[in-house]
Amino acid sequence: MRAFVVSQYKEPLQQADVPEPVVGEHDVLVQVRAAGLNVLDEKIRAGEFRQILPYKLPQILGNDVAGTVIGVGARVQGFRLGDEVYGRPDKDRIGTFAERIAVAEADLALKPVAVSFEEAASLPLVALTAWQALVERGNLRPGQRVLIHAGSGGVGSVAIQLAKYLGATVATTVSAGNADFVRELGADVVVDYRSQDFEQLLAGYDLVLDSLGGKNLEKSLRVLRPGGKVIGIAGPPDAAFARELGANPLLRLAMTALSSRIRRQARRLGVTYEFLFMHASGDQLRQITALVDDGVLRPVVGRVFDFDQTVQAVQSLEVGGIRGKAVITGP
- Domain ranges for the chain, please list them: 2-123+299-329, 125-275
**Angstrom distance (rounded) from CA 233 to CA 274:** 9
Under a CB-based contact definition with an 8 Å cutoff, are residues 88 and 280 in contact? yes
Per-residue pLDDT, 68: 98
pLDDT in tens, 195-250: 999 999 999 999 999 999 999 999 999 999 999 999 999 988 887 887 887 777 87
**Is the separation of the CB atoms in 73 and 24 below 8 Å?**
yes
328 forms bridges with which residues in the sheet?
35, 305
Question: pLDDT by residue (tens digit) across 58-73?
Answer: 999 999 999 999 999 9
**Fold that domain 2-123+299-329 belongs to in CATH:** Quinone Oxidoreductase; Chain A, domain 1 (3.90.180)
The per-residue DSSP string of 56-108 comes to PSSEE--S-EEEEEEEE-TT--S--TT-EEEE---GGG---SBSEEEEEGGGE
- What is the amino acid identity at position 158? V
Q: What confidence score (pLDDT) does residue 38 get? A: 96
- The set of long-range contacts for 256-260, using a CB threshold of 8 Å and a minimum separation of 24, is 259/235
Q: List, as one string, the DSSP characters of 142-184.
A: TT-EEEEESTTSHHHHHHHHHHHHTT-EEEEEE-GGGHHHHHH
Name the phi and psi angles at 246, rounded to 5. Answer: 75, 30
Residue 261 three-state SS: helix
What pLDDT score does 262 carry?
Answer: 95
Q: Tell me which DSSP letter residue 208 carries.
A: E
Instruction: Report d(CA 139, CA 198) in Å as an integer.
Output: 23
pLDDT along the chain (331 residues), means of 10: 97 96 98 97 92 90 98 98 98 97 98 98 98 98 98 97 98 97 98 97 98 96 98 88 78 82 96 96 98 98 97 90 93 78
What SS3 class is residue 141? coil
Element (H, E) at 32: strand 27-36
Question: What is the reported pLDDT for 237?
Answer: 87
CATH class of 125-275: alpha beta
